């Protein structure tokens, strides 16, 4: 059974990215081997979106995206600024939440948002759809 989601970011400056994760985002980590930290990023959820949509017939260039979720965007931004974080642009109100792009050393800015929905790991409405098991009877 799948028990989690492992994500990888490919950085132009992995040491700076790792330091940002450790010191600014303050993510706990383990050392898979010396110099190769794996960060505990907490709960996760995954969505499948179309590459085109009404008003945008050109396929979206990215095939995957990593976003950070928070409970209170303003408070989180203030806390991260206190640790040296900067943001690309202003807060954007979108149909799914309040959003801002967090600058991460060695990476493109990451979307960070306060969802307007209950995240999947918290939602009592989340359902599990499992394929039926093959019958052991002949």
Below-70 pLDDT ranges, the chain: 128-138
Domains by residue range for the chain, with CATH: 14-44+65-115 (3.10.180.10)
User: Residues 76, 112: contact at Cβ < 8 Å?
Assistant: yes
Q: How far is CA 30 from the centre of its chain?
A: 19
Which tens digits make up the pLDDT trace of 104-134?
Answer: 999 999 999 999 998 888 888 777 665 555 4
Supply the Cα-derived Rg of the chain in whole angstroms: 18
């Amino acid at each position: 059974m799948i028990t989690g989601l492992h994500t990888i970011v490919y950085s132009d400056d992995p040491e700076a990215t790792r330091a940002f994760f450790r010191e600014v985002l303050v993510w706990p980590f383990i050392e898979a081997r010396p110099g190769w930290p794996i960060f505990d990023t907490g709960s996760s959820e995954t969505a499948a979106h179309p590459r085109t949509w009404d008003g945008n017939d050109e396929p979206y260039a990215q095939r995957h995206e990593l976003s950070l979720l928070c409970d209170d965007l303003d408070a989180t931004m203030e806390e991260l600024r206190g640790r040296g974080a900067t943001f690309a642009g202003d807060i954007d109100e979108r149909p799914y939440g309040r959003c801002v792009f967090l600058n991460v050393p060695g990476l493109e800015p990451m979307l960070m948002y306060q969802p307007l929905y209950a995240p999947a790991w918290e939602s009592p409405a989340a359902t599990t759809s499992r394929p039926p098991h093959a019958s052991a009877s002949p």
